[in-house]
Amino acid sequence: MPENKLLSPVNPVKHSIDRTLRTIERRTRHYRNTIIVVVAIVAIAAIVSIVTFSWQPLCAIFLLPAVVVTFIYLDCRVIKIWSDELLDLWKKNELDLELYIKSITMMKMIPKSTLNGMLKLLPVQCAVKKEDAVIRAVIAATLSSISSSHLLNSTVSLCVGIAVPISIAISLVTFSLWPLPGTLVGVLAVAAKPFFERKLWHRWQTTVSGINEKLDNETVEKALQTLPWETISPKQKQQIFKFLFTLPS
């Protein structure tokens, strides 16, 4: 690709690199702020406890899980926004993914572990031809659903991590049992997760079914096998691949 195209402000590769750098910067800022908040909570709780000769201020430590799960949720949300944007460019055949990866991995200032973790949500191992628009659409929809599943998991963790520890902390400070029903928020979040997960993948099925083109099921399956299915249950994955073979080919 000519050098002047790479420097063009509307060039998808340059735009994607800029979005990646901003996303990593934002993730780093969230991580730094989380560390600051954690240290501040521990320090303030310890100091107040010593000054007041009371153990109750130490209950503030129960806030730490809430801080951590909030960071995880925000991190997943930032990554999903980034991956969906790049997937949309790739699906439309506007982003040369190979050139993007080659360019971004050459930047020494980017932490490799951070970058590699993000690139897992892109079809880096899918050998898809430029003219295979249908396969691109299926892969993009699948990766978007996988990242949505990550976000769903972090949302459930957020509910549990906030409701349970804070309810226990308030109960200890007030010497009362009335705050403990607040832990039910976490229980309800865990109980509701399967429902929202089924809804998520049903939406994926609707999207794939809406592609009014015949699919080469074997090619699609081979491409999807390269995606990061680690956080998806084997049963759910099996249902996804089973659904693919119900589509016209």
H helical segments located in the chain: 3-6, 12-52, 63-91, 97-105, 112-119, 133-174, 184-209, 217-224, 234-244
- Exposure of 9 by Cβ count < 10 A (0-12 exposed, 13-18 middle, 19+ buried)? exposed
**pLDDT tens digit at each of 249 positions of the chain:** 444 444 445 688 999 999 999 999 999 999 999 999 999 999 999 999 999 998 988 888 999 999 999 999 999 999 999 999 999 999 888 888 889 999 999 988 888 889 999 998 888 877 676 657 888 888 899 999 999 999 999 999 999 999 999 999 888 888 888 888 889 999 999 999 999 999 999 999 888 888 756 666 777 777 788 888 887 888 888 888 888 767 665
Coil, strand, or helix at residue 8? Answer: coil
Q: 41-55 pLDDT, tens per residue?
A: 999 999 999 999 989
Neighbours of 222 (CB within 10 A): 13
* Domain spans in the chain, listed from the N-terminal domain onward: 3-244
Would you give the distance in Å from CA 125 to the centre of its chain? 19
